[in-house]
Structure 1
Amino acid sequence: MSVRISRQQWDGLLGELDHARRQRHLLTYRALLERLELPTPAMQTLTAALEYLAMIDARADQPLRSSLVISQGASRLPRTGFFECAEKLGRFCGPSDGVAAASWHASEVARVFEYIYPPTTTT
């Protein structure tokens, strides 16, 4: 899937994630969709942007900032696609639900909260 977002939207996404990191809280996909004015289809656009950011973070050997985005549901975990992306990047191995996924996700979120990211200059 190929989607494009503007520099302003990309910067907005990075800003929202950085604010969440500094405040040590998680964001729902819905909250991000409401705050960012992404082109239609907005959820696919957000997913593609988060996967692209995960690739940037993985290549830089940084914790995955996209782990800060979770579903509103009872699991309080990211969607299945997040875990599939993390697996493709060599960061996670296993089923995308259950104890192993929840434990890995909690660990990754803790790493994100502690990490200081350098400014992102490319998209």
Structure 2
Amino acid sequence: MSDSSSPIRISRSHWQALVHELSEARRQRHLVTYRALVERLQLPTPAMQTLTAALEHLAALDARADRPLRSALVISQGASRLPRTGFFECARRLGRFTGPVDGPVAASWHAGEVARVFEFDYPEVP
């Protein structure tokens, strides 16, 4: 299933700012919403698609390096306090998650992944 549209790109400065924001969230042991990241990073339109593409790229880099997925720190504003289903679909493609993309299995796996992110010592450069 490949997307035939042109790939979404993020500038180096936005990428570095994203990695910094996630590093700060990890250091402070808190989660950040997609909306807060879009606003803080001042991403150009289409901002949410750009953020999603960047988070999926970061997840792929983390998976390749056998690190916990930092993108797990980004959640929806809704009551679930979970990432969007696309995060779980991405984690599944990367071989990190199996199971339904919503519900208790996803919530439990996400909580474990967040704990692993908080405990992991990431190198300064992603």
Q: Same fold, TM exceeding 0.5?
A: yes
Give the equivalent residue in structure 2 for 1:53.
58
Paired amino acid for 1:111: R
The structure 2 residue matched to 1:30, chosen from 15, 27, 35, is 35
1:101 to 83, 87, 106: 106
List per-residue Cα deviations over 1:14-61 (Å, max 9, x = no partner): 000000000000000010011002121000000000000000000000
Counterpart among 17, 20, 41 of residue 22 in structure 2: 17
Separation in structure 2 between the aligned mates of residue 66 and residue 49 of structure 1, nearest angstrom: 9
**What is the one-letter code of the residue matched to 1:3?**
I
Superposed displacement of residue 119, structure 1: 2.3
CA distance in 2, matches of 1:69, 1:116: 18
Letter in 1 for 2:18: L
Normalising by structure 2, we get a TM-score of 0.93
**CA-atom RMSD, angstroms?**
0.9
- Residue number among 20, 31, 46 corresponding to 1:41 in the alignment: 46
In the alignment, the residues of structure 2 paired with residue 109 and residue 15 of structure 1 have an alpha-carbon distance, to the nearest angstrom, of 17
User: TM-score scaled by structure 1?
Assistant: 0.96
Aligned to 2:118, which of 91, 102, 113? 113
Q: Distance in 2 between matches of 1:10 and 1:88?
A: 22
Alpha-carbon distance in 1 for matches of 2:25, 2:50: 20
Tell me which residue corresponds to 1:88. 93
Q: How many residues align?
A: 121
The unaligned stretches of length 5 or more in structure 2 are none
Q: 1:7 aligns with which of 12, 15, 29?
A: 12
